[in-house]
A and B are shown apart, each in its own frame.
Chain A
Amino acid sequence: EAQVTQNPRYLITVTGKKLTVTCSQNMNHEYMSWYRQDPGLGLRQIYYSMNVEVTDKGDVPEGYKVSRKEKRNFPLILESPSPNQTSLYFCASSSTWTEKGAFFGQGTRLTVV
């Protein structure tokens, strides 16, 4: 079954404690992205990757890091989380040319206190 898997689904952490949200896809897609969803703002892209070792900033990259060492994995790293990073996060993947849009993971609800 084609899927994008994120872990954990829910996370409560304290300000400044480094954390990683993992994302893995089994569709051999080139593109992977991270989005955050906030009330009244829709989904905003944090970072994206066009292939292994190729990443670039999206619209709201401040406070986040990513890496793409393998095609299937695209972890999101918060080196020093702050309360304004409390949000719902989605990982997505897509192939290079598609009319089918991106596949999204089920989301990670992060709370930073």
Chain B
Amino acid sequence: DQQVKQNSPSLSVQEGRISILNCDYTNSMFDYFLWYKKYPAEGPTFLISISSIKDKNEDGRFTVFLNKSAKHLSLHIVPSQPGDSAVYFCAASAGQGYGGATNKLIFGTGTLLAVQP
């Protein structure tokens, strides 16, 4: 039973355009959500997070949107750059409260983003 779903295994975008990566979840107890980026032969690195008390969080070119009623979040990258090409994982945690203790994360299956020059 996949509690966090990333239904698009891959996404190709032109450099300079917007990349939108989507993530759906089923567990209404999730209250903290994170996005990680992973390059080949490296571990995942934290990108951006959002608490369930917010519906948007922005950090430079990266914005995460949370729609709690739809149990859906998305990551927007604007403008996309070739260096953004990587696998992006959505992750969620439950019952940690605001502040985001991340001792137990449930991950999606990942989306491979390719940004074409």
Chain A positions near chain B (C-beta within 8 angstroms): 4, 31, 33, 35, 40-45, 48, 50, 58-59, 90, 92, 94, 96-107
Nearest chain B CB to A14's CB is how many angstroms away? 25
- Which residues in A have their C-beta under 8 angstroms from that of B41? 106-107
A43/B101 in contact, CB under 8 A: no
B99/A31 in contact, CB under 8 A: no
B26 at the interface (CB under 8 A from A): no
Size band of the interface chain B makes with A: 20 to 34
Given A98-B101, A101-B102, A42:B45 Cβ within 8 A: no
Interface residues of B in 6-43 (CB under 8 A from A): 6, 34, 36, 41-43
Sample of 13 further A-B pairs with CB below 8 A, known A48-B104, A98-B102, A102-B102: A31-B103, A33-B103, A33-B105, A42-B109, A45-B104, A97-B100, A97-B101, A98-B100, A99-B99, A104-B36, A104-B44, A105-B43, A107-B41
Given A4-B43, A42-B89, A42-B107, A101:B36 Cβ within 8 A: yes
CA distance A99 to B106 in the complex (A): 16
Interface residues of B in 33-78 (CB under 8 A from A): 34, 36, 41-46, 49, 51
Chain A minimum-CB-distance residue to B3 = A59
B102/A31 in contact, CB under 8 A: yes
A42/B108 in contact, CB under 8 A: yes
- Which residues in A have their C-beta under 8 angstroms from that of B106? 45, 59
B102/A50 in contact, CB under 8 A: no
- Which residues in B have their C-beta under 8 angstroms from that of A31? 101-103
Chain B positions near chain A (C-beta within 8 angstroms): 4, 6, 34, 36, 41-46, 49, 51, 89, 91, 99-110
- Which residues in B have their C-beta under 8 angstroms from that of A105? 43
- Which residues in B have their C-beta under 8 angstroms from that of A100? 46, 49, 100
B43/A94 in contact, CB under 8 A: no
Q: Contacting B46 at CB < 8 Å: which of A40, A43, A44, A101?
A: A101
Nearest chain B CB to A88's CB is how many angstroms away? 10
Nearest chain A CB to B39's CB is how many angstroms away? 10
10 nearest CB pairs, A to B: A104-B43, A101-B46, A97-B99, A43-B107, A31-B103, A42-B107, A42-B109, A94-B102, A102-B102, A101-B34
